[in-house]
Amino acid sequence: MKKLRVAAIQMCSKRDRDSNLESASNLMRQAVKDGAELIALPENFSFIGSESEKIKMGEDYTHGPSVNFLKKFAMEHGVAIVGGSIPLKTSSRSKVTNTCIVFDTRGRAVGRYDKLHLFDVSLNDENTFRESKYIKPGNSAVTVELFGHIMGLSICYDLRFPELYRVLTSRGAEILFVPSAFTLLTGKDHWESLLRARAIENQSYVVAPAQYGRHSSGRISYGRTMIIDPWGQILSQCQDKEDFITCEIDFEFLGDIRKRLPCLKHIRKKVFVLD
């Protein structure tokens, strides 16, 4: 496949899972009508509340309201889905994972990524987060193959760790997904810069579906869902509303960039240990 039409969904999710799934479905259906073959959702698309509330919202990897919703939608519409993130149960009753599940066009789960880097920060008195208190981190980088191409998975805070994306690219990733719920405070200064940097340094497309606006938990997300090409140019971007964008991923263009400016071949692998 030389080209792939990808959609990125922007949401303002709240505590009501059913309402969030309905909103996601409406936007995804519009994306399908716009020709999307792969749809990417934002982090925590089916639920945003306090971190402690995620425990009771935890689902099983093979079933649950959000998991079943994604599986059914992929099957019915014949599209692949990068499922943002969902809280999944763990062996501990006090922690869940923050997990992105990828479904192919037949509704089969073909990949699972558990968020590696947890958001434990104190930006100011009003913006203190301790994700690790209720979230169990993953322990591996994950790529999946869809439509004959390799996709690299990450979630939100992972964006600040370029070594993850270098590993994903070393494994053949051509599209890097960054489903997010970036805070307003950090997003306005860092979101675009970090996304464009990851695209440029890895010569990859970056698809970043995001949460926006004020959530029922009181948290405010920055939004500005983007799709960026391997040259670092923003192909499309959402404004401040629930919406979606679609773009054509051109793998020939990506290959040409990597051929004309072969940075990835110039990595000193004996100095920097990569997979």
Report, as residue numbers or ranges, the catalytic residues: 43, 115, 156
Q: DSSP 3-state assignment of 92?
A: coil
Radius of gyration of the chain (CA): 17
Contacts for 21 with CB less than 8 Å, ≥ 6 apart: 46, 65, 66, 69
Which residues, in sequence order, are bridge partners of residue 87?
Answer: 98
**Nearest residue to 135 via CA among 223, 44, 241:** 44
**Nearest residue to 46 via CA among 259, 211, 248:** 211
- Could you tell me where the DSSP H helices lie in 203-275? 251-260
What amino acid is encoded at 26 in this protein?
A: N
Would you state the torsion angle of the CA atoms of residues 118, 122, 124, 125, taken in this order, to the nearest 10 degrees? Answer: 110
Which residues, in sequence order, are bridge partners of residue 8?
Answer: 40, 245
Pull the structure tokens for residue 253: 């263009």
What amino acid is encoded at 200 in this protein?
A: I
**Nearest residue to 176 via CA among 193, 191, 196, 148:** 196
| Helix/strand/coil percent split, the chain, to 5 | 30, 30, 40
